[in-house]
Chains A and B, each alone.
Chain A
């Protein structure tokens, strides 16, 4: 399988009053076509920051210091996302790569209706298709129309043709502001609305015709998250990044959303980068797993291997921390380090039961120790390779 996304040597730091938070230190990650890659990690592991970096959305005071994010476009060429200009980036965001967040309520603008907010995606990325649809509609109407009505229709047609040629056109912008003339947009609005309703229906929302006109606060958390997913999937993106989309939801609602994501994945054939701290969700949904700790990736492997043969001591500790009947609970000692002054060498060494001298001195590299199974730990260093 081919990689559709590659993250290379990513370094992200946050310049806060407390000091420089070294959130991500050299992350390498490959997302393959059609797979679900899970990223698991605790607070401060850098999993969310990784997600945001992929879309070049790291908020200030954060800065991407180093590294690149390569996305394989429709023509098969890799596009360096972090080097793109504003306009090119906008063409990727929401169309090729989408993201959904943990708090659906906060991710929706309280002042616009669901229809407005979902429709925006169509207007930004699929304006041309919409224009064509509207033009077809106008042309059929024109055949029957006469007199004044025909004039209005042909005027509208000229506007839509212009919009099709150049969506940024000044004439269109002006016409959208002039009263009465502005009404030509109603057709576009109607077309968008139709698409939004269709999309909401795909999200298995009850009564989409009513929901389009509702405001976010009128919906429950689960419904809000469906709206956010709808926005993300509106353009059938190649990659969906899901940043803990069910964490703020109740378990029964979480089950509904997970089920929805699983089924949509089959339908839309997107690759999914699924970020969570819940081992259960990973087990249910993912093909491969990357385990992150304090800004590093410590292990990447197919999901079964992570659960059956975890190699990194942290992964093992994580699995042993899950209470299971008939199994002794073995928590990891200590706490997650402060990323302003992270431990030297392997950042896990102060909590690691197998820590050696070298662990506090040098950062272990992520290497393939078995087929398709990568780990960053000095326990698996081959002799002579220590640096």
Chain B
């Protein structure tokens, strides 16, 4: 297995302030213990409804947010990973483990090491109308990473920016313009150009097609695919649009209330969903075919608050198959078929 990114037991809590003295009275458990890996060159899709923590997860993985707990390993040799796992099992307080984590675990990075990391991992946001500085020219927006890292000098910046813009389907005439002069799709292309100009290895795509029109979605999707091929990119593709995720991802993970409930290769998952939530989610998507009549599973109620998630399996209050154990114990994420993991007591070995 050649994993580029390995995430272990990642948690990200946001404090909730309240009361007379604005003290912390609780935490929004946006990401609550997620472990997964992303293979080099693959696209991992991550789906879930708003508030499930998928965006927080993406931002924490590339360290735009500081994790509350857990480790993130990026491009670490397999033998080192093995060593770390071995040490973790044996003695979590081993000084060697601490040294290795300091060396390799992104969760411990700070300052200049973090900054160096930025060259290798990038992000594209959902809404290009807020992710581009409205007071900067396109050339400056796209060229900023080059300037920050002082990689090339003046004239060459323009050349590199132009080359990158052309790569994403824009041209020289767009260099000296403000973002508001562009359509949504073009803006997203500018944002993509900014993300790829440093030639990163890993890009988090945070709902990059949600804010654009149907006809533009397809254009962007094609662009993402061709960029991935040309630049050997690895993607974490976050979205709530299942058909988009289906068409671009190699594997897909499903999140619910800060937890990963199911993860499987795309084909497998779209053919057969094991987790009741995944099943309901997939059945809720309207299919653009008037003759495709299908059974729809309507979930009861709303997603509970991530401040006080339900006990046991977080899905149990809405689950049509809930059993006693679901209320009491959290199901482990286990592989039930080859490459298909699910966290549900219906499938878990008890």
In their complex, do chains A and B touch, with some C-beta pair under 8 Å?
yes
Which residue numbers of A lie inside 8 Å of B, CB to CB?
42-43, 220, 222-223, 250-256, 258-259, 277-284, 303-304, 307, 317-325, 329-333, 335-336
| B50 on the A face (CB < 8 A) | yes
A42 touches B215 (CB 8 A): yes
| B37 on the A face (CB < 8 A) | no
A283 touches B292 (CB 8 A): yes
| B34 on the A face (CB < 8 A) | no
The CA of A202 and the CA of B283, in the complex, are separated in Å by: 25
The CA of A277 and the CA of B248, in the complex, are separated in Å by: 21
Residue of chain B at shortest CB distance from A246: B286
A307 cross-chain contacts in B, Cβ below 8 A: 288-290
A251 cross-chain contacts in B, Cβ below 8 A: 49, 240, 281, 284-285
A353 → chain B closest CB, angstroms: 13
B185 cross-chain contacts in A, Cβ below 8 A: 335
The CA of A203 and the CA of B270, in the complex, are separated in Å by: 32
Tell me whether A283 and B288 are in contact in the complex, defined as CB-CB below 8 angstroms, given that A250-B50, A253-B302 are known contacts.
yes
B283 cross-chain contacts in A, Cβ below 8 A: 255
B246 touches A322 (CB 8 A): no
A284 touches B287 (CB 8 A): yes
B214 touches A322 (CB 8 A): yes
B52 → chain A closest CB, angstroms: 9
A255 touches B214 (CB 8 A): no
| B303 on the A face (CB < 8 A) | yes
Which residue numbers of B lie inside 8 Å of A, CB to CB?
49-50, 183-186, 213-219, 221-222, 240, 243-244, 246-248, 270, 280-281, 283-292, 296, 298-299, 302-303
A162 → chain B closest CB, angstroms: 46
B302 touches A220 (CB 8 A): yes
The CA of A336 and the CA of B214, in the complex, are separated in Å by: 11
B215 touches A332 (CB 8 A): yes
B246 cross-chain contacts in A, Cβ below 8 A: 323, 325
Residue of chain A at shortest CB distance from B296: A255
B287 touches A325 (CB 8 A): no
A283 touches B284 (CB 8 A): no
A252 touches B243 (CB 8 A): no
The CA of A43 and the CA of B292, in the complex, are separated in Å by: 27
A250, A279, A304 interface centre (most CB from chain B within 10 Å): A250
Residue of chain A at shortest CB distance from B285: A251
B213 touches A281 (CB 8 A): no
The CA of A320 and the CA of B219, in the complex, are separated in Å by: 11
B321 → chain A closest CB, angstroms: 16
Top 4 A-B pairs, shortest CB-CB distance: A280-B286, A331-B218, A323-B247, A255-B284
Tell me whether A336 and B183 are in contact in the complex, defined as CB-CB below 8 angstroms, given that A42-B213, A283-B292 are known contacts.
yes
A317 cross-chain contacts in B, Cβ below 8 A: 215
A259, A325, A330 interface centre (most CB from chain B within 10 Å): A325
- Partner of B218 from the list A250, A279, A321 (CB cut-off 8 Å) is A321
B33 → chain A closest CB, angstroms: 23
B50, B222, B283, B290 interface centre (most CB from chain A within 10 Å): B290
A207 → chain B closest CB, angstroms: 12
A299 → chain B closest CB, angstroms: 15
A329 touches B287 (CB 8 A): no
A339 → chain B closest CB, angstroms: 12
B288 touches A282 (CB 8 A): yes
B218, B221, B299 interface centre (most CB from chain A within 10 Å): B218
Tell me whether A321 and B281 are in contact in the complex, defined as CB-CB below 8 angstroms, given that A43-B184, A304-B290, A335-B185 are known contacts.
no
A329 touches B247 (CB 8 A): yes
A223, A284, A307 interface centre (most CB from chain B within 10 Å): A284
- Partner of A43 from the list B213, B244, B289 (CB cut-off 8 Å) is B213
B221 cross-chain contacts in A, Cβ below 8 A: 323, 329, 331
A–B complex contacts, Cβ < 8 Å, 10 sampled: A251-B285, A252-B280, A259-B296, A277-B214, A321-B217, A329-B218, A329-B222, A331-B215, A331-B219, A331-B221
